[in-house]
Amino acid sequence: MAIAVLYKEELKEYDFGLGHPFRGDRYEIFPAFLKENLAQDDNYRILEADQATDEDLLLICNRDYIEFTRDYFRAANLGLSYPGSFSQYHSGDNIPRGKPGKLEEAARLMIGQAKMAADLIQSGEYKKVVCIGGNMHHARPGYGEGFCIYNDNAFAAKYLMERHELERVLILDTDAHQGNGTCEYFYSDPRVLFIDLHQDPRTLYPGTGFVDEIGEGPGKGYTVNIPMPVYAGYDSYRLVFEEIIQPVTEEFKPQIIIRNGGSDPHFADELTNLGLPVKGFRMIGEEAREIAEICQGKEIDIIGSGYNKEVLPYAWLALIAGLADFKIELEEPFPIPQRFQRDSSFEATKEVIEQVKRRLKDYWKCFD
């Protein structure tokens, strides 16, 4: 069965301007790479979503935040200044440089894609939907940071629970940075199991996601942070899936899975210090496909991050190929450096896994 790939050319407007780490050309580079390497045919269908409305955004955002964000970024796109306290609503890394794209409109499109993905799966039209663009996992209800404006991962989960009345949603965040915004949305909500693999927060923004951050109140135990040691590679990631993600997912029995994350755990990423080769991204996709069998194959995949544009298309397509079981060979775009030819952090990863199990054993039988 073909998967749905949600993409619209206007996503390239999610561009903070020349000199900023997050540019919109990723949304031109990847679609071209996808079409060159894999025909639609019976593999996938490219569909276009509509922008989210204010009513949609109010599901996850405060009204004053929406209004400031809309007006500020639209003024910036026109080269105009906008009165008001930017720092009240956004961190400095969200300040556009020069002439940015139509950021706010593109951010609404990412929310629209998350909404469409949920509807397509719940209607039975597709089992798997991939959103090209998004993964805005640092954004919170009233504050944008980390290049993120509106949190599409949180929207997808909230929309599935409120509109489609789901009671158990798994969010699996495999981005190199911890999804602090998504985590905050569901920290006390036992309907959402939030599992986050990310680089050790002592060494990378946003500095959150330690083993002992496990949720609060009725949601205690439903946040699973797995801080990966610096340079952790293929073997480390596979072991984490085997020892933590698979068993806790089987016990939770989600009705759908939302996986988010792009290419930034790659060893050549320019902002991070992990060690995955391209085949590691295919493995992540394969693991997501395998655990999704628990919920009849239902999975939303949100892909957006990565800061080496030569690596990005290979890793993104590897994620999709693993998820959809596409028989396509993807080469490594760079020679693998000597230090990454073996997973030097494997033993340290074993220690992290034991820490996670000890911290969560009172909440999950599989860890007891």
Active site amino acids: 138
* 3-state SS assignment for residue 150: coil
Residue with tokens 């639209």, as numbered in its chain: 74
Q: Within 10 A of 53 (CB to CB), how many other CB atoms are there?
A: 12
- DSSP-derived letter for residue 192 is E
**Residue 109: CB partners within 8 Å, gap ≥ 6?**
8, 10, 11, 49, 50, 51, 52, 133
Helical pair 152-162 and 103-122, crossing angle rounded to 10 deg: 40
Instruction: Extract the tokens encoding 198.
Output: 């990310």
> 141 and 154 in contact (C-beta within 8 Å)?
no
- DSSP-derived letter for residue 229 is P
Spell out the alpha helix ranges (H) of the chain.
26-37, 54-57, 63-77, 86-89, 103-122, 152-162, 180-185, 234-240, 246-252, 278-291, 312-324, 346-360
* 3-state SS assignment for residue 278: helix
Residue with tokens 């469409």, as numbered in its chain: 116
User: What are the C-alpha distances in Å from 227 to residues 130, 237, 246, 265, 351?
Assistant: 26, 11, 17, 12, 11
* 3-state SS assignment for residue 339: helix
